[in-house]
Amino acid sequence: MTRLYNFCAGPAALPESVLETARDDMLNWHGRGLSVMEMSHRSTEFVGIAEQAEASLRSLLAIPDDYAVLFLQGGASLQFSAVPLNLLPEGGCADYLNTGQWSKKAIAEGKRFGTVNVAASAESNNFSTIPPRDSWQLSADAAYFHYTPNETIGGVEFHWVPEVAAPLVADMSSTILSRPVDVSRFGVIYAGAQKNIGPAGLTLVIVRRELLGRSRAACPVMLDWKTAAENDSMYNTPPTFALYLAGLVFAWLQELGGLSVMAEINRRKAEKLYAAIDGSSFYANPVELPSRSQMNVPFTLADANLDKLFLQQSNAAGLLNLSGHRSVGGMRASLYNAVPEAAVDALIAFMQDFEQRNG
């Protein structure tokens, strides 16, 4: 059976060679007579798999030794609560930037635990811009500064790292591993796995060790990063198969040449698609040029009545999951690492053909 091109925003495409390895390992991992799913998470075999995954990730992102790498559950959404529970003292205050739907959810959750200062918001621009740095109203005593480097729904991405005094906390769910990033600039980086890391069910947290141990007394033990760090992410049973698969994805990225090679491929993919959109009056992308996402490209048709036909025909042409988020409509092509350049070429060819037939 042919595998089709998958532009899903998440759970997203996985590298084919990773799936092939997982298939070959499925019934009998490395001749041990059982699958990874059936192993004790305390076994030498699985501990080795987890250690290798962490080592590969540390190498890919050049994660400094004074950062802990945690493999957790609950998705990025549970980190919306874990961040304040770990970093925000009772009666404390934190700064948040509002650049889209995921920022808003993080803000709403932060408000349960203390004072949230929205330093700037792009909501009045329909989230098509990033508020300029000199417009941000930062609090003097913020426990941390939270932002969303890539808004998966709006397709808005920071191509720079904010400079603020408070520890920087970033929801990198949809941009992590798409390019190199200077981890030392951040206090905390977190990401749900199902965009650029592996299958759903795994959540990555990278945290500067000096930020551990600040959690509130009421912080559930399963949300306390310090507990996870002290137990090598095995305080309880981790999502073993998802972690194993993430390890295969990390190894795939290493073989490819690492994140600067990946970044170059991603830049090319996005540039081509935006050029096709901008070169036609039939398609449009609403985001200001300097803040366009390389990972998630939303676009609209001049005539929204054609949306349904576009989605039907693109799907029939083997281009899957191009509908925009249910909250915004239109189309969205997610171009994560595992989406090959050939998929983007096929999408552009389809778009041009569709325009000729319907424009």
Residues 109-148 that bind ligand PLP (CB under 6 A): 148
CB 144 within 8 A of CB 188: yes
In the complex, least distance from residue 146 CB atom to ligand PLP, rounded to whole angstroms:
11
In the complex, least distance from residue 192 CB atom to ligand PLP, rounded to whole angstroms:
3
- The question of whether 345 is a catalytic residue gets the answer no
Measured CA distances, 33 to 18, 25, 244 (Å): 21, 10, 17
Question: Of these, 29, 102, 225, 241, which contacts ligand PLP (CB under 6 A)?
Answer: 102
By the rule CB under 6 A, 171 interacts with ligand PLP: yes
CB 153 within 8 A of CB 173: no
Which span sits near ligand PLP by CB under 6 A: 27-35, 44-52, 74-82, 219-227?
74-82
- The question of whether 171 is a catalytic residue gets the answer yes
By the rule CB under 6 A, 75 interacts with ligand PLP: yes
Whether the CA torsion 102, 105, 109, 115 is positive or negative: it is positive
Question: Of these, 6, 7, 10, 334, which contacts ligand PLP (CB under 6 A)?
Answer: 10
Query: For the chain, how big is the Rg over CA atoms in Å?
Result: 21
| Contacting residues for 346 by C-beta, under 8 A, at least 6 apart | 5, 317, 318, 319
Which span sits near ligand PLP by CB under 6 A: 73-81, 270-278, 279-287, 301-309?
73-81
By the rule CB under 6 A, 192 interacts with ligand PLP: yes
Q: Which of 29, 95, 102, 252 is catalytic?
A: 102
C-alpha 357 chain-centroid distance: 36
In the complex, least distance from residue 226 CB atom to ligand PLP, rounded to whole angstroms:
22
What distance separates the 2 farthest-apart alpha carbons in the chain?
63
User: ω into residue 290 within 30 of 0, thus cis?
Assistant: no
Which span sits near ligand PLP by CB under 6 A: 43-51, 70-78, 122-130, 328-336?
70-78
- The question of whether 308 is a catalytic residue gets the answer no
CB 170 within 8 A of CB 149: yes
Binding site for ligand PLP (CB under 6 A): 10, 75-77, 102, 148, 152, 171, 173-174, 192, 195
> Could you list the active site residues?
102, 171, 195
